[in-house]
Structure 1
Amino acid sequence: MLIIILFLFLFPQIVLLTEFNDPYLIHTNYGYIRGFPFNINDSNKSKFVKIFLGIPFAQPPINELRFEKPKEPKKWDGIKNTTEMGPACFPHVPKGMMALEEDHNEDCLYMNIATPGWENKNGHHLFPVLFFIHGGGYETGTIREISKEVMANKYSKNNIVFVTFQYRIGQLGFAATGDDDFAGNYGLWDQLRALQFVKDNIEKFGGDPKRITIFGFSAGASSVSALSLSPLSNKLFQQTIQMSGTFFSEWSVSNRVVFETEKMAKIVSCGESLGNSNELKKCLRSKTVKELMDAVEKMGSARKEVNSLLFTPRIDKEFLPNDVLTMLKNAPVKRNLIGITTLETLSFMLLKPEDSLTGLSVLSDEIEKYDRKKFEKFIREKVAPKRIFGKGNGREVQNKIIEFYLCDIEKINEENTEKEVAFYFLEKYIQLTTDLMFIVPMLQEVHYKLEKGWPLYVYMIDYFNKQYYPKNIPIKGAYHAVELAPLFNVTIYPFIIEKFSEEDLKFESVLHTSIVNFVHTGNPSTSALNWPSLKDQPSQYALLNSNPKIVETALFPEKLKFWQELTEKYSFDIVKGIDKETLFTRDEL
């Protein structure tokens, strides 16, 4: 008994001595963790980055915590070894686009941190923090693909504390019934919990809690946009980076999730509980994750709509208390690096036709058969169906969209082959879907932020390596996720080769250096590119490729003008996917 008492008395002192002598031992607010050293690729072989993998930032969202906001981790005794990444969160269906890892678990709320193992000699005692949010349409995705080598060599080597984490996705992250008892947005609450963990603990890792940049790609960029809007989160960081994603797009925020949750509930024999959210949650908790995933697969992993996603954020009156514009008006101004690629939806429509996130892909054997009839049918049935507009307006709206996108139809004449005609209309299809899902929503966000005085750095990526493309893909351009290889060594398309060409490496340097400089200074300018903010020069943007330049004109002003005028004149906002008066979605009309 005496030995036990002595141990309990001496253990804290032993740990304190160990912490003083062990640079990889950190005392978080919840307990001790131990990371490990990672030797970086540097001429100075003595330089090490400190790596911490699989840090719990919330209690496991299982059993009674499924479909609930995340709770703070319980404090633990002893030292937790953080040397392995936590599992990925489950996607909405078994064959999610980015669900490439076998290691999935409902217990998935873990964080990874890489921090320089040396003193900061740049005038600051602490290092700036880069907090990365992965993409995947809110339904798939994982940060397990971002290796410790990338974290160390691409970011911490550049005097940055780099943070990645998992958040709940798909039905486990966003299922909702629309009332306060089952409000959804659990994945966003996970992101908030991760941010709070970083804000409260990052100084112990050498990070500066007053210099946090949140950075996201695709749905991660949409999340960055949402976190900038929500009054619960927008004071926890100082800067934002959005790559190919915004909360102004229809796919980012929709009440459709309520209808999809009802469908799933009926398939798993929980239909009788509809109407009582607490009973429904109880029933859904009794089902295995596999049962829930199989149910969504039966529903269809994606809808054949412009907004093809099933489980996404919604305006819940708490995390997101108001409509997007109202929240933006009340949000604090922050420095924002934001941009897109030229042909975003090329990824979904042609490059990966088996994608679980869209139902609008053009299959390989249909590419050469795509014609004007199919293009116009898409507009009339999917983009602007008559039922969502007032009586007599539907056909008028449809014709305006067709005329706008086929303004250069004179290019096509009798001398063109059937294949050339198909490629023309196919490219228009890619342009239209890219505009609706990415470019126009981003331009709207930029427009309203600029009105409020945000320092904005806008870019467009037009770089791609045509050598990587499959031979059967006739349209080539900068696709969605072209940034992942140069920034994270991640390739979600099998045709991308791992060895970069000389031009690839130049583009990598341009993009990566801009990100690093923005994290450190709030300005993405490099030695090769003097990049002023839109606040200083409203009509310009950076064109990023292997030889970047500043373009002294606004980015696609004609597209923004067309869609803004269409929205002002008619009752339904096609870009946001809502009726302007009732705020009903397409499904509710």
Structure 2
Amino acid sequence: MSDPVVKVEEGKLKGKVNKTLNNFEYFAFKGVPYAKPPVGELRFSVPVPPEPWEGVRDATKNCNICAQLDRATQSVVGDEDCLYLNVYSPKLPASDDSLLPVMVFIHGGGFVFGSGTDDTVHGPDFLIEKDVVVVTFNYRLGILGFLALNSKDAPGNMGLRDQVQALKWIQKNIKQFGGDPNNVTIFGVSAGGASVEYLLLSPMAKGLFHKAIAQSGSTLLPWAQSSKIKKLAHKIPLIKGNIVTSDEQLLKFLKGLSTKDLIAYSMVVLAAEAWDGGITFGFVPTVEKSADWETFLDKKPYDALASGEFTKVPFISGFCSREGLIMVSLHPARLEKLKKEKNFLEFLPFDIDETEKQAMKTKLKTTYLEAEQKIDDEDAFAIDYFTDVDFFGGGYVSASLIAKNNSPVYFYEFAYDGALNYLKKKYNIPRKGACHGDEGGYIIKSSILDGEISKTDEIVKNRLVGMWTNFAKYGDPTPEVNELLPTKWEPIAETGLAYLYIDEELKMKEDLYPARVKLFKELYEKYNLSS
């Protein structure tokens, strides 16, 4: 099939044949619309199904990325017409008796950056060789995806609703590409990992997937949720000297702005809101007030997780051992301030009672300054702290809450430092250890990691790809112990959190950073996040 053509509900698609570096042939269909373009009056609205088309649609080229600020050039790039997905299949034509597991990748970027468009950034090559169908997609970002005015015209969480719409499209059409609609695994890194958890929590997504993997991301992280979106949005007209007195006027003003101005102004107010204490992306998921429309999320994530109100499917969650490297590298002022003043409380995103602040200051210093450091790095205490505040603390707590109400749940710590450590290579971070989202480079092929890799890098890659695709196929990452996977990955037990330690070797361990874990379990149980 030199020019593969597949018929979906909306019409016919022409794809192309690609090859991996190992000469494994697969079929690529790119830029497939899964929703109507959310432009004009549909800006800020919930996604609606795509329109049908006549003839054969060309699905061989990359589509637009969603409108966002390019951090390198500080210019606005992308387009509002961006709700497209890519399907990669190892086998066509499709037949009902040999349908393959489907793995749906959700990109990261703090809900304000990134895309699932370009397969040089998020390539299916590693996974596709294991006989799975891979899907990547875009969803609305920043103010376009997460403006929340508690109204039907801007309910909030539009970017997450886009993800639901993509999953609905997959349910209707993936069989045409050889994928099994009854065996869909969602997985993502960072904000993509948080998205996976949000999809677990939302009744909207129930039944649209069957397994889930959250890598370095959780609904409980301070940057992944906000209750201040309306307040932030009302500051945008002031940039132009306009004063609006109602949400209706604000919505009209925001709909009247060009895409470029809307994104630029939203980032201006976000920069003014940013605080030294932590990272914030402003327009991110939020809890919707119950109203006369179908809500994506109407309960705080912690409360929903603790009460077991989420979709019960086999679940993998985990983190990288030095997630905080990304924070101290991209935000060096945070590191210098913490090193100089040792005031951990300043960077803690919880509403600590005034009467308890002094005791909390002491507890934080004890936990991080008196701990034995595994890595010889004078900043290790700060890297551990930012690892916990921004990533590990919430991720651990959410995984343990999910495990109380669901089985199986698998947890991992990724500690390997090699040539495919994604963000570490992208930002040229010279320190030892695995940085935030670094495991992603061993699962998703990226052109920024092209080059020589060691034999150990290859083994680690093959192990992660093997475990992730085993999980997609069987709901168990190590259904059998063999030469490649010599260790059985045991799920979290009711008696404690067993986890897989992934480095040059695989090891099952227990008692993960006990003092740090105890601290964050107590914080999440007692206090609300101040986001």
TM-score (norm 1): 0.79
CA distance in 2, matches of 1:338, 1:213: 13
Identity of aligned residues (%): 27
**Aligned partner (choices 101, 116, 128) of residue 143 of structure 1:** 116
Shift of 1:479: 0.1
Q: Which amino acid aligns with 2:78?
A: H
User: In structure 2, what is the equivalent of residue 332 of structure 1?
Assistant: 311
Question: Following superposition of structure 1 onto structure 2, how do residues 324-403 of structure 1 map, counting pairs within 5 Å?
Answer: 324-328=301-305, 329-350=308-329, 353=330, 361-362=331-332, 372-376=339-343, 379-383=344-348, 388-403=351-366
Q: Does 1:476 align with 2:432?
A: yes
User: In structure 2, what is the equivalent of residue 95 of structure 1?
Assistant: 71
Q: Retained in 2: the 8 A contact 1:128–1:211? A: yes
Q: Retained in 2: the 8 A contact 1:211–1:237? A: yes
User: In structure 2, what is the equivalent of residue 486 of structure 1?
Assistant: 442
Q: Retained in 1: the 8 A contact 2:411–2:492? A: yes
The structure with the larger Rg is 1
Shift of 1:389: 3.6
Structure with more relative contact order (C-alpha pairs < 8 Å, separation 6 or more)? 2
User: In structure 1, what is the equivalent of residue 521 of structure 2?
Assistant: 564
Of the structure 1 ranges 27-36 and 461-470, higher mean CA displacement relative to structure 2 is found in 461-470
User: In structure 1, what is the equivalent of residue 45 of structure 2?
Assistant: 68
Q: Which amino acid aligns with 1:390?
A: D
User: In structure 1, what is the equivalent of residue 199 of structure 2?
Assistant: 227
Alpha-carbon distance change, 308 to 491 in structure 1, aligned in 2, over 3 angstroms: farther
Say which SS state the counterpart of residue 136 (structure 1) adopts: coil
CA distance in 1, matches of 2:161, 2:435: 30
Q: Retained in 2: the 8 A contact 1:139–1:169? A: yes
Question: Following superposition of structure 1 onto structure 2, how do residues 136-175 of structure 1 map, counting pairs within 5 Å?
Answer: 136-147=109-120, 150-151=123-124, 153-175=125-147
Alpha-carbon distance change, 170 to 270 in structure 1, aligned in 2, over 3 angstroms: farther
Shift of 1:504: 1.9
Q: Retained in 2: the 8 A contact 1:146–1:488? A: no
Q: Which amino acid aligns with 2:369?
A: L
Say which SS state the counterpart of residue 261 (structure 2) adopts: helix
Q: Does 1:543 align with 2:506?
A: no
Shift of 1:129: 0.3
Say which SS state the counterpart of residue 220 (structure 2) adopts: coil
Q: Does 1:38 align with 2:18?
A: yes
Q: Does 1:131 align with 2:104?
A: yes
Q: Deviations over 1:178-223 (max 9, x none)?
A: 4454221110011011010001111111110100000111000100
Say which SS state the counterpart of residue 33 (structure 1) adopts: strand
CA distance in 1, matches of 2:400, 2:438: 25
Q: Deviations over 1:45-96 (max 9, x none)?
A: xx632210000001111111111111111111111111112111122x3427
Q: How many residues align?
A: 512
CA distance in 1, matches of 2:428, 2:439: 23
User: In structure 2, what is the equivalent of residue 293 of structure 1?
Assistant: 263
Shift of 1:232: 0.7
User: In structure 2, what is the equivalent of residue 14 of structure 1?
Assistant: none
In the alignment, structure 2 segments of 5+ residues that lack a partner are: none
Shift of 1:371: 6.5
Shift of 1:269: 4.9
Q: Which amino acid aligns with 1:275?
A: S
Q: Deviations over 1:311-351 (max 9, x none)?
A: 1100014100222244331223110111100111211321x
Q: Which amino acid aligns with 1:112?
A: N
Q: Retained in 1: the 8 A contact 2:103–2:135? A: yes
User: In structure 2, what is the equivalent of residue 185 of structure 1?
Assistant: 157
Q: Retained in 2: the 8 A contact 1:241–1:336? A: yes
Q: Does 1:458 align with 2:411?
A: yes
RMSD: 3.1
Of the structure 1 ranges 281-290 and 161-170, higher mean CA displacement relative to structure 2 is found in 281-290
Q: Retained in 2: the 8 A contact 1:270–1:283? A: no
**Aligned partner (choices 53, 56, 59) of residue 30 of structure 2:** 53
Moved over 6 A (4+): 466-474
CA distance in 2, matches of 1:96, 1:231: 38
Q: Retained in 2: the 8 A contact 1:85–1:144? A: yes
CA distance in 2, matches of 1:305, 1:182: 30
CA distance in 2, matches of 1:110, 1:120: 22
